[in-house]
């Protein structure tokens, strides 16, 4: 019992000592220390300006360059190559002589046809003299009407013969013109598939060479059918333009829409569009793939950096900053363009919008602007 009493006494004394320590400020006469008020939270953010400016309505796609004119040169007569007058891959102008073919056989046939024509003309002259002679004699009663009629018939036959001779001669001259092969239009020619001495004929499947027109050229690409109506309106107004860029080079050419295919592909919902590019420096080469940008029209709009746009269950919104406070502003996005979002409602332009630090913001959060990162 004495041991229990001692333990209880010690516990009571310990509790009293603790209570005295905790209340020492009061029995010492000292005033309690006041706690500092919590500081309002300030979030550091990056800002950008909403701008109202002209924004193109465009469509990006992959296109293929094709020549407007392309011709495979072939021989129209059976003969041999005498001369080749160009270097492989060279630029040629319309009318340039490219190949000379052996024409000796045709030359001989032309001389023969000219000889036949001269002979028949001489016979016609004799027949016409007979007609005049018999016509004079019939008036004097020195010949019969049969002789006059026969002379006229012979003259008429020779007139027809001469016409046939002239036609044969003209045909041979046309055949001779085929022995000089010239460029039908300006462009760039391929390598020559035949050399001097090769025998060529119209039935050959391999072309002597191929010429492609290089300026202007076509660029064909596909666009979604939803753009078709706007494109047709823009074509009627003459406001369309096409920019074709070679990937990884930055080299590009511009032009306009030349044609829209008359059918939409029902399996893909795409329609083929063909643009015509001036291509004076031969930047675009037939057959290459290019990145195309079809600019349908340009219109005024409010734009903000796309990174400023946030999404929620109720729709898109941005954080605007006014008087150092963040505010939630719902917006409607029409489309994006080169890292910018086009706003159709919610912003009037000139507002400060948050482009970095949105995760720490709520309505009314105090913010302070920090410099934007280089290249942002």
Q: What is the pTM of this model?
A: 0.69
Q: What is the domain extent for residue 64?
A: 59-68+215-299
Whole-number pLDDT of residue 36: 47
Whole-number pLDDT of residue 9: 56
What is the full per-residue pLDDT of the chain (376 aa) written as tens digits?
455 555 655 655 565 555 555 555 444 444 444 454 455 678 899 999 999 988 888 899 999 999 999 999 999 999 999 999 999 999 999 999 999 999 999 999 999 999 999 999 999 999 999 999 988 888 888 888 898 899 999 999 999 999 999 999 999 999 999 999 999 999 999 999 999 999 999 999 999 999 999 999 999 999 999 999 999 999 998 888 999 999 988 899 999 999 999 999 999 999 999 999 999 999 999 999 999 999 998 888 899 999 999 998 889 999 999 999 999 999 999 888 778 899 988 898 889 999 998 888 989 899 998 887 655 5
Residue 115, both tokens? 């000889």
Question: Same domain for 64 and 124?
Answer: no
191 near 66, Cβ under 8 Å?
Answer: no
Domain of 204, CATH number, reads 2.40.50.100
Question: Same domain for 145 and 207?
Answer: no
Question: Same domain for 155 and 258?
Answer: no
Q: How many domains does the chain have?
A: 4
From 255, 188, 266, 185, select the one nearest 225 (Cα to Cα): 266
Question: Same domain for 142 and 231?
Answer: no
Question: Same domain for 308 and 346?
Answer: yes
Question: Same domain for 92 and 187?
Answer: yes
DSSP 60-111: EEEEEEEES-EEEE--SSSEEEEEE-S-TT-EE-TT-EEEEE--HHHHHHHH
Does residue 224 lie in a domain region?
yes
Q: How far is CA 370 from the centre of its chain?
A: 42
Does residue 174 lie in a domain region?
yes
Domain of 291, CATH number, reads 2.40.30.170
Sequence-separated (6 or more) residues with CB below 8 Å from residue 32? 25
Question: Same domain for 91 and 165?
Answer: no
Q: Which of 277, 299, 321 is the last residue of a domain?
A: 299
Question: Same domain for 97 and 108?
Answer: no
Q: Which of 299, 325, 344 is the last residue of a domain?
A: 299
Question: Same domain for 152 and 166?
Answer: yes
Does residue 12 lie in a domain region?
no
Strands (E), 144-267: 180-182, 187-189, 199-200, 209-212, 217-224, 241-245, 252-260
Does residue 23 lie in a domain region?
no
User: How many helices (H) does the chain have, and how many strands (E)?
Assistant: 5, 22
Grouping H, G, I as helix, E, B as strand and the rest as coil, residue 72 is strand
Residue 227, both tokens? 């753009």
Whole-number pLDDT of residue 338: 78
How far lies 235's CA from each of 59, 241, 260, 273, 365, in Å? 15, 9, 10, 12, 49
Does residue 29 lie in a domain region?
no
Whole-number pLDDT of residue 70: 96
Residue 82, both tokens? 């005498």
Whole-number pLDDT of residue 297: 85
Query: How far is residue 187's CA from residue 88's CA, in Å, rounded to a whole number?
Result: 13
């Amino acid at each position: 019992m004495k041991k229990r009493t001692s333990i209880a006494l010690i516990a009571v004394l310990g509790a009293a000592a603790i209570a005295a320590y905790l209340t020492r400020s009061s029995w010492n006469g000292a005033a309690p220390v006041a706690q500092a008020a919590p500081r309002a939270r300030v979030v550091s953010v990056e800002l950008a300006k909403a701008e109202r400016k002209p924004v193109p309505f465009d469509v990006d796609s992959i296109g293929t360059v094709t020549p407007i004119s392309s011709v495979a040169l072939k021989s129209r007569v059976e003969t041999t190559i005498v001369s080749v007058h160009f270097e492989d891959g060279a630029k040629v102008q319309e009318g340039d002589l490219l190949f000379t073919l052996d024409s000796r056989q045709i030359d001989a046939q032309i001389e023969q046809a000219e000889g036949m024509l001269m002979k028949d003309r001489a016979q016609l002259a004799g027949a016409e003299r007979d007609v005049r002679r018999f016509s004079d004699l019939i008036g004097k009663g020195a010949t019969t009407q049969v002789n006059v009629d026969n002379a006229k018939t012979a003259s008429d036959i020779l007139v027809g013969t001469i016409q046939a001779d002239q036609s044969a001669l003209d045909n041979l001259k046309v055949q001779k013109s085929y022995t000089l092969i010239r460029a039908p239009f300006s462009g760039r020619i391929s390598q020559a598939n035949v050399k001097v001495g090769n025998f060529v004929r119209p039935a050959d499947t391999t072309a002597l060479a191929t010429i492609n027109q290089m300026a202007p050229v076509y660029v064909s690409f596909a666009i979604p059918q939803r753009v078709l109506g706007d494109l047709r309106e823009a074509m009627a107004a003459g406001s369309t333009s096409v920019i074709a860029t070679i990937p990884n080079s930055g080299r590009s050419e511009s032009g306009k829409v030349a044609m829209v295919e008359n059918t939409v592909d029902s399996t893909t919902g795409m329609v083929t569009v063909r643009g015509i590019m001036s291509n004076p420096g031969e930047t675009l080469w037939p057959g290459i793939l290019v990145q195309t940008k079809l600019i349908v029209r340009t219109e005024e709009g409010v734009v903000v950096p796309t990174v400023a746009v946030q999404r929620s269950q109720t729709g898109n919104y941005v954080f605007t900053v006014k008087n150092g406070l963040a505010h939630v502003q719902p917006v409607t996005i029409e489309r994006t363009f080169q890292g910018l979002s086009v706003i159709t409602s919610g912003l009037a332009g000139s507002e400060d919008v948050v482009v970095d630090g949105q995760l720490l913001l709520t309505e009314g959060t105090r913010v302070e602007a920090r410099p934007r990162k280089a290249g942002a």
